[in-house]
Amino acid sequence: MAEYVISAEALERNARVLRETGQVGGAHMLVALKAYAGTAGMCCLKEYADGSCASGLYEAKLAAQHLGGHLSVYSPAYREEELEQLLEIAHHIDFNSISQWVRFAEVCLSHPRAQKGEVLFGLRVNPCYSTGHTPLYDPCAPRSRLGVTPEQLAQAAEHSLLRGISGLHIHTLCEQGAQDLIDTFRAFERTCGSLLAAPDIRYLNLGGGHWITRPEYDREALVRLLREVREHYKVEVYLEPGEAWCLRTGVLRTRVLDVFESLGYRHAIMDVSVSAHTPDVLEMPYRPDVFLVERSPIKAGEDGEKEPSVRLPGESYLLGGGAGEKEYTYRLGAPTCLAGDVLGDYSFSRPLEAGDVLVLDDMTHYTIVKTTHFNGVPHPDIVMLRSDGSLECVRRFSYEDYADRQG
Ligand SMILES: Cc1ncc(COP(=O)(O)O)c(C=O)c1O
């Protein structure tokens, strides 16, 4: 059976970095549940995070139950009944358009929690300044639906539509460094700086997409920006990364079901679907490192090249190379009907056999939250590797899970 294995220790390693960065910069560090919402992992993050960021009611409820602390919610559009429930539990509710804010302002501002100052309302701004490389992940791409433009914001202010707005929210990055955030903030400041400085504005949410836990990330530059924003504009600053909490914390372990040749290609069929169980490989696109598990020690010189994010005791790993780099190349594919349900071409220093275990690296964020039961391929289990080395299966999926989802 395939399984996602998530390391509690690795989650805490990232969490310590994020907590320290937030504390030194004087900013609130939230966990974005859209990247990872596993309750077993959230328990590991709880003591380090200042709270969470939710995309709607379901994430908000899960976050309130398992993470606690501050709860920020932003959605491109709220349903009326959803908003009523969010008003009971959220601390910030950020709106995507002036029209949604105008429609719901009365309901929001008259709510008892709003009157006591327990929930504040904000607007997401599209600073119209792109630093991203992939249009699919660029909220500032032309014709974006994500956020109010600086012109719309200025017009809304002129028409006194911003009464009750206490916060601004900019989310523009995806897997990016501190300089891109600084450049984006400067662009935002040029068009929206005077609004940010207005006494009614009490918070600025700088969204997610910050690769803070990568070794090359310039945390000092981020901290300087956070302090500057807080001191100059007198606002509380929030960051809501998702991926940064999860980087190098989990793997997907899959078994090889079959190996054969067709039309001059060697194929290996895994017991997972790329489309269903590692969807970002097709969507991003993202090419994970793949390791072949060896149960006996391997020849000197073959290991040590690179390690999977999560190692299990007694195992050694052979790193898969690109096509033709090592002696035996395979197209790693899924047991589904979709012709393109393929992880990619990988080469290994020994031939693959049915029963071999492959480890697909860095598979916590934007993976488990996106899985499906496409083709009825059994869903991988979710297993936590605890700090004492023990493995705990926190969720096993069954035929009933597949059948129930189909309605
Ligand atoms: C509004 C918002 N906040 C936070 C995030 C989290 O981003 P990441 O996981 O890249 O840090 C996203 C991701 O799309 C987002 O849209």
Note the pLDDT tens digit of each residue in 314-366. Answer: 999 999 999 999 999 999 999 999 999 999 999 999 999 999 999 999 999 99
In CATH, what is the architecture of 9-246? Answer: Alpha-Beta Barrel (3.20)
Q: How far apart are the C-alpha atoms of 385 and 197, rounded to whole Å? A: 46
The answer to whether the CB of 35 is under 6 A from ligand 1 is yes
- Is the pLDDT at 281 greater than 80, yes or no? yes
User: If you measure from the C-alpha of residue 273 to the centroid of ligand 1, how many angstroms do you get, rounded to a whole number?
Assistant: 25
Which of 28, 29, 34, 134, when mutated, tests ligand 1's pocket best, judged by the most ligand atoms within 8 Å of its CB?
Answer: 34
pLDDT band at 123 (very low <50, low <70, confident <90, very high): very high
The average pLDDT across 90-98 equals: 98
pLDDT band at 1 (very low <50, low <70, confident <90, very high): confident
Q: Which residues contact 341 (CB under 8 A, 6 or more apart)?
A: 273, 274, 275, 333, 334
pLDDT at residue number 315: 94
Q: Where in the chain is the domain with CATH 3.20.20.10?
A: 9-246
The atom of ligand 1 lying closest to the CA of 244 is 11
The answer to whether the CB of 122 is under 6 A from ligand 1 is no
The average pLDDT across 136-164 equals: 96
Position of tokens 């598990």? 293
pLDDT at residue number 57: 98
Of the candidates 185, 155, 159, which has an alpha carbon nearest to the alpha carbon of residue 173?
185
pLDDT at residue number 134: 85
The atom of ligand 1 lying closest to the CA of 173 is 10
The answer to whether the CB of 241 is under 6 A from ligand 1 is yes
Mean pLDDT of the chain: 96
Phi first, then psi: what are they for 192, rounded to 5°?
-120, 5
Position of tokens 């054969």? 260
pLDDT at residue number 306: 87
pLDDT at residue number 300: 54
pLDDT at residue number 302: 59
Please tell us whether the domain made up of 250-363+371-405 is placed in CATH 3.30.200.20. Answer: no
Q: How far apart are the C-alpha atoms of 359 and 357, rounded to whole Å? A: 7
pLDDT band at 132 (very low <50, low <70, confident <90, very high): confident
Encode pLDDT of 48-66 as tens digits. 999 999 999 999 999 999 9
Q: How far apart are the C-alpha atoms of 159 and 175, rounded to whole Å? A: 37
Residue 333: both structure tokens together: 């594919």
The average pLDDT across 154-168 equals: 97
The average pLDDT across 255-267 equals: 97
Whose Cα sits closest to atom 15 in ligand 1?
208
Which of 73, 239, 240, when mutated, tests ligand 1's pocket best, judged by the most ligand atoms within 8 Å of its CB?
Answer: 240
The answer to whether the CB of 195 is under 6 A from ligand 1 is no
pLDDT at residue number 41: 97
Q: Where in the chain is the domain with CATH 2.40.37.10?
A: 250-363+371-405
The average pLDDT across 167-191 equals: 98
- How far the first Cα of the chain sits from its last, in Å, is 25
The answer to whether the CB of 243 is under 6 A from ligand 1 is yes
The answer to whether the CB of 240 is under 6 A from ligand 1 is yes
pLDDT at residue number 304: 56
- Is the pLDDT at 295 greater than 80, yes or no? no
The answer to whether the CB of 356 is under 6 A from ligand 1 is no
Q: How far apart are the C-alpha atoms of 150 and 357, rounded to whole Å? A: 52
Encode pLDDT of 205-221 as tens digits. 999 999 999 999 999 99
- Is the pLDDT at 305 greater than 60, yes or no? yes
pLDDT at residue number 301: 55
pLDDT at residue number 296: 76
Q: What percentage of the chain reaches a pLDDT higher than 70?
A: 98
Whose Cα sits closest to atom 5 in ligand 1?
208
pLDDT at residue number 303: 52
Position of tokens 């899960």? 62
- How far CA 123 is from CA of 155, 205, 217, in Å, comes to 14, 10, 28
